[in-house]
Amino acid sequence: MRTIQSVNEMQSHAIGLRSGGQLIGLVPTMGSLHAGHLALIDIAKEEADKVIVSIFVNPAQFGPSEDYEQYPRVLEEDLEKCRERGVDIVFNPSVVEMYPQGYSTFVKEEHLSAGLCGVSRPHHFRGVTTVCLKLFNITRPDIAVFGQKDAQQCAVIKKMVTDLNLPTSVLVGPTLRDADGLATSSRNAYMSDVQRQEALSIPKALQIAQDMVQQGTRSVDRIVAEITHHLSLHRRVRVIYAQVVDKETMEPAREIEPGRHIACVAAWVDQTRLIDNVEL
């Protein structure tokens, strides 16, 4: 496995791989790799000849009062996991490499990013689209693999790729869950055992929504009310949003069409912000 920190070196190497007819798969991450990331790496390995994992905690997608400084950074552990998983290249640039002095260019998707997380984190997706476009230009991937847990991010990146005519296919891997049902996330490490028990109310609420739809409920208001009610029973949980949206356009649903809509939740568990979603 090769580790590269330089943007120029990574770009030159990627161009060489493409010239040699190698299909490149990229798994963009902020490190602190967990089982969900490893599952995305497996998808990339199935689809591509060479797999690149980027590890970069992107300051542009954090707000001024968010957890950029506290975000877990465990590079040596991440590198070992990548070696064990058969990753070909880890791209681990510094902030100065990605955003040199005087940097002032950003990419903003205007529509899909406006709701859900975009309301409480107004600059988040601008940072996501900017860093992903930069990573695509640097690593030249034929495919890029993201996780369904970040459903809005997936939709925004797909829209960027379409709108800007990028030669990269976006693949979405299913949400991976721990044995207790909690969606895997690097931020899960912030929580104590007691807080984690409270956090389990999120997948439980989403399961209630799925069950209601399977039993014939089509009212969005009823689904959202049940999700919100279940979460309100847990004193450490503060709901940021609970919505039902089209899984491609992120438009709020009026009436649920099975297979088309997803139920999405974002909530604070004390000081930890979690998101999750399920297809209805």
Q: Which residues have a catalytic role annotated?
A: 37
Spatial contact of 226 and 205, defined as CB atoms under 8 Å apart: yes
Closest CA to 33 of 67, 97, 84, 93: 84
| 3-class state of residue 219 by DSSP | strand
216: left (phi over 0), alpha (psi -120 to 50) or beta: left
Residues contacting 138, CB < 8 A, separation 6+: 7, 10, 11, 14, 91
237-246 β-sheet, strand order = 237-246, 261-269, 272-279
Tokens 């580790």 belong to 3
User: DSSP of 179-190, one letter per residue?
Assistant: TTSPBP-GGGGG
Residue position matching structure tokens 């004193």 = 235
Amino acid at 190: Y
CA distance 57 to 97: 12
